[in-house]
Structure 1
Amino acid sequence: MTSIKNNVKLRRELGLFSAVCLIVSVMLGSGIFVSSASALKSTGSVGMCLVIWTLCGLLSLLGALSYAELGGIVNKSGGEFSFYQYAFADMHKFWGPLVSFIYSWVSIMYIRPAEVAIIILTFAKYFVRPISVAVSMDPDYEHCLRKLVSILVLGIITAINYNSVKCFIKIQNVFTICKVMACMCVIVGGLYQLLYLGNTQNLKTGFQGTKSSLSDLVMAFYSGLWAYDGWTATTTVSEEIKNPQRNILLSILLAVPFMTFFYVLMNVSYLTVLSVPEMISAEAVAVEFGSRALGYFSFVIPFGVVVATFGCALSVQFGITRLCFAASREGQMLEVFSYVSVKNLTPAPAVVLQGILTLFCLLAGDILSLIQFTGFLVWMFYGISMVALLVIRYTIRDVKRPFKVPIIIPIFVLIMSVILVVTPILLDPKPEFLIALGFILSAFLIYIPFVYQKRKLQFVDTLTKYVQLLMDVVPPEQDEPEISEKCHDEAAEDLFIERV
């Protein structure tokens, strides 16, 4: 049994192509299909809207390159959690680990389950709507059917992530290719309207009607950055990527510019066919575009949304289970959530936890009023990651760096993060910001007794035993430390060489 346990750990199953597909799958959700109108509404003009989409792609690329440097140094799953652990944990006994715990607690318990729930609800909306129209379904029955479909889809993606990483990779890659093809249909349809039919009257309006207030521009950035979110995906699962110090950087360099190119061209296509007022008033921009520009092929749009949302929900859940795994392994969540299935080599307890939390979000009803603050919280943590990179640059200068960005890049991303976080609070304060503050406060209250003081509830050992028996999971094998870890003195380096 000991030999079996010693071989149980997460395996490096994702090559470069799968790593690129993971980023594209998380980035390419429902946003570009259904919510492009919000960026146009905030900017007020065609020209500024396209500028915002381009700048969002550039900002995402700069942030992703900074993450590539952090991922090359730390080389552990968990993304921001592991970065904060490396940069801040040794700075202060109390405050250092608190930063990583707040991130893991808020992300695991709220941000990502709510995000997956919203994506699944979007899937159910576009899956059920054609059926409802075809049979003239009563709205109440349609609502119930959407809930049932949502729960069924959640069960399917949870089962996939529970049972096999290889199965996840195959499904993710196929779905990614399918939704890229759906986006290509939008781009080709728009270019046909623009270049062959000469439909240029909407684009000729240029910057007419541009809004110049800072609050409008920040909200436009939030709309665009919500669609781009996902460029951190490979750093979250770095322990399952083959040759991570090479493939994390390459996957970012391939995926993020590719998605920027796609998003800008898709918005050009939308704006070629739809006027500014029509696009702003459209409930689902891509569907309206398809009905006007694609003719008999308009079914591609609902199909694309369904495929995009399923693949995105699958990939987002995959990533957050690895954060849960990493946080539990470091003692900041229950240890049992770091255990790995003996048979499937997946973090089965973490997958089940995320399935349950997402189910609560689905059953809670309308959580759209909460999810809009996901961008606020996410960019707060992105800013802290830039601080972590700057701290590592200053305090651990001799650490091995496979890749290094110019120092101006993390500084610029940090400044943009501060603007994105502070501006809505100062210019458009809303009571819902107290909700975000409440989640952070709850992390603080949990941290003091259970992480800092290491108190243990009586039922934890019993829970761990039953989870082990039920799921056949064991603690994972611990790998030897990488060269890039904190081996500063000669004695530590000699000891490391001797162990290897």
Structure 2
Amino acid sequence: MVHKSGGQFSFYQFAFADLHKFWGPLPSFIYSWVNIMYTRPAGAAIIILTFAEYFIRPVSLWSSMTPETESTMKILVGILALCTITFINYTSTKGFIKIQNVFTVCKITACLLVIVGGQYQLYMGNNKNITTGFEGTTLTISTLPMAFYSGLWAFDGWASSIMVIEEIKKPQINILMSIVLAVPLMTAVYVLMNISYLTVLSVPEMISAPAVAVEFGTRALGDFSPIIPLGVAISTFGCALCLQFQATRICFAASREGQMLEVFSYVSTKKLTLAPAVVLQGLLTFVCLLCGDIVTLIEFTIFMEWIFYGMTMVALLMMRRTKRHVKRTFKVPIVIPIFVLFMSVVLFLTPIIAEPKPQFLIALAFILSAFFIYVPFVYQKKRFSAVDHFTKSIQTLMGVMPQEKDNDPDIEMCGEQQCRT
């Protein structure tokens, strides 16, 4: 029904923008503001820090690095990975796709190796940790959402394909198939991998291990153990590459709707990439990398993400009434958005009421700050001469131009870009 890139941003625009001159575009602006300025860069930083953890883990096992040295090494490796990711997305969209395909094959191969190793351990009778189940754990109203945050983070990729809908061939078929096939497949893979971990690691060991897959490989795979950190590093690098790619599409969608600086929708005339948006995301991710605390970043990020997932369900339910005339390729059963909306409200309210951590209050303040940017610069459309100078400087430095406005749906945004010359 919505055939524009930008994911939830485009959904909000389609659902709300025409309802009110002031309030209508506000949800999409809040989403773009929060995602462009924090959640997408923070998400990439989380994955890059995980990459760095697995990349240096073999080195730390073979050497005597102090915790301070190891922490510094993680940041430095993360910065190097970020520079590489930014360079790839800056230079070639086709190169990104080829690298992503190779990394996906490597990722699945590493996952299958862990699963096969775990199945062998089960065959040998090593199921003690599995039979104990949740023994020794505690369940409270304050800790349950935290568990959901970490768990749901791993499955957050289900929303990725809608970010690039304009660049997908036959999106009405391929997007649906990607979700229907990928989510059950990855759920099965993750469950089997965790069962494999439990064949050789106890629950306390899994919790305390900085790199669970490395510990599993050391104990279960023998001479094949070095493949595991390499496989996880490749997997996380590819994931971070994809996250930055998605974030630039939100930038593009918001900029062409006048909700971000127009220059961030400009396309490189030579490389046919969203060069300014890529550089912006690289810089913001660098700032998030300096935090270095993966758990804090996950809690802070996923808390805000589920606010927007809930808002997306509201948009869907509203469009069932306000957009009845619009042709739909497929129709989601009404019970699904209602359930997701309920879960998003629970995941939003429970941690605030039960255990209000500072990061949750900061997240809410950050969301509210969007209002003070929206009023003067989006609603009132105030403009400063410095913005024009900045735009011209970026155009000169990066060789970018506005994308030609073309209504032909067969022209891919980054495949056969057309720019004004």
TM-score between both structures, scaled by the size of structure 2: 0.92
Instruction: Kindly state the Cα deviation for residue 129 of structure 1 after the two structures are TM-superposed.
Output: 3.5
The one-letter code sitting in structure 2 at the alignment partner of 1:392 is: M
Shift of 1:185: 1.0
Determine the C-alpha separation between the residues in 1 that align with 2:308 and 2:125.
45
1:77 match:
5
Deviation at 1:124, TM superposition (A): 2.0
When the two structures are aligned, how many residues end up with a matched partner?
A: 409
What are the within-5 Å matches in structure 2 for residues 325-474 of structure 1? 325-366=252-293, 368-474=295-401
Do the aligned partners of 1:361 and 1:367 also contact (CA within 8 Å) in 2?
no
Q: What amino acid maps onto 1:172 in structure 2?
A: Q
Q: Does 1:183 align with 2:183?
A: no
Q: Which amino acid aligns with 1:466?
A: S
Does 2:75 match 1:147?
A: yes
Asked if 1:169 corresponds to 2:97, the answer is yes
Tell me the CA shift for residue 318 of structure 1.
Answer: 0.3
Matches of 1:192 and 1:215, distance apart in 2: 38
The Cα offsets for residues 406-450 of structure 1, whole Å up to 9 and x where unpaired, read as: 111111111111111111111111122221012112211111100
Name the residue aligned to 1:128: 56
Give distance in 1, aligned partners of 2:394 and 2:187.
43
Structure 1 residues 234-291: Cα deviation after superposition (integer angstroms, max 9, x where no partner):
1011111111111111111111111001011111111222223333333332222222
Q: Identify if the C-alpha distance between structure 1 residues 205 and 137 changes in structure 2 by more than 3 Å, giving closer, same or farther.
A: closer
Cα deviation for residue 212 of structure 1 reads 4.4
Of 267, 276, 295, the match for 2:222: 295
Name the residue aligned to 1:89.
17
Q: 2 CA distance for matches of 1:141 and 1:414? A: 44
SS state at 1:190 partner: helix
Q: Distance in 1 between the 2:139 and 2:105 partners?
A: 38
CA distance in 1, matches of 2:107, 2:284: 27
Counterpart for residue 415 of structure 2: none
* Structure 2 unaligned regions, length at least 5: 410-421
1:365: Cα distance to partner? 4.9
CA distance in 2, matches of 1:132, 1:217: 33
- Which residue type is aligned with residue 158 of structure 1? T
Distance verdict in 2 for CA 1:216–1:356, change over 3 Å:
closer
Deviation of 1:176 after TM superposition, in Å, equals: 1.1
Judge conservation of contact 2:153–2:298 (CA < 8 Å) in 1.
no
Aligned to 2:405, the other structure's residue is in SS state coil
**AA at the equivalent of 2:20:** H
CA separation of 1:146 and 1:208: change in aligned 2, threshold 3 A: closer
Question: 1:354, 1:312 → 2: CA distance?
Answer: 15
Aligned counterpart, 2:124:
197
8 A Cα contact 2:150 2:299, kept in partner: no
Q: CA RMSD in A?
A: 1.8
Q: Write the distance in 2 (CA, Å) between the matches of 1:367 and 1:285.
A: 15
Specify the code of the residue in structure 2 equivalent to 1:127: F
Distance of 1:481 and 1:270 partners within structure 2: 50
Q: Which has the bigger relative contact order, CA under 8 A and spacing at least 6?
A: 1
Matching residue of 2:211: 284
The one-letter code sitting in structure 2 at the alignment partner of 1:261 is: A
- Whether the aligned pair in 2 keeps the contact of 1:75 and 1:239 (CA below 8 Å) is yes
Query: Which residues of structure 1 form unaligned runs of 5+?
Result: 1-72, 483-500
Q: Distance between the aligned counterparts of 1:366 and 1:81, measured in 2?
A: 28
Selected match of 2:198 from 251, 271, 286: 271
Opposite residue 88 of structure 1, the aligned amino acid is: F
Whichever residue aligns with residue 85 of structure 1, its letter is Q
Q: Is the 8 A contact 1:189 1:293 kept in 2?
A: yes
Provide the rounded CA distance (Å) in 2 between the counterparts of 1:144 and 1:369.
18
3-state SS of paired residue (1:237): helix
- The secondary structure found in structure 1 opposite 2:392 is helix
Deviation at 1:183, TM superposition (A): 0.8
Residue 42 of structure 1 corresponds to none
User: Could you tell me which residue of structure 2 aligns to residue 259 of structure 1?
Assistant: 186
Aligned equivalents of 1:282, 1:104: Cα separation in 2: 36
CA-to-aligned-CA distance 1:40-63 (integer Å, 9 cap, x gap): xxxxxxxxxxxxxxxxxxxxxxxx
1:104 is matched with 32
What is the SS of the residue equivalent to 1:432?
A: helix
**Aligned equivalents of 1:134 and 1:276: distance in 2?**
25
Q: Normalising to structure 1: TM-score of the pair?
A: 0.78
What is the Cα deviation at residue 184 of structure 1?
0.7
**In structure 2, what is the equivalent of residue 238 of structure 1?**
165
Identity percentage of aligned residues? 68
C-alpha distance 326-256 of structure 1, shift in aligned 2 (>3 A): same
CA contact (8 A) 1:370 1:432 kept: no
Q: Is the 8 A contact 1:76 1:239 kept in 2?
A: yes
Report the Cα distance in structure 2 between the residues aligned to 1:443 and 1:359, rounded to whole angstroms: 22
Aligned partner of 2:414 in structure 1 is: none
Change (3 A) 1:79 1:172: same
State the match for 2:418 in structure 1: none
For the residue of structure 2 that corresponds to 1:373, the secondary structure is: helix
Amino acid of the residue matched to residue 42 of structure 2?
A
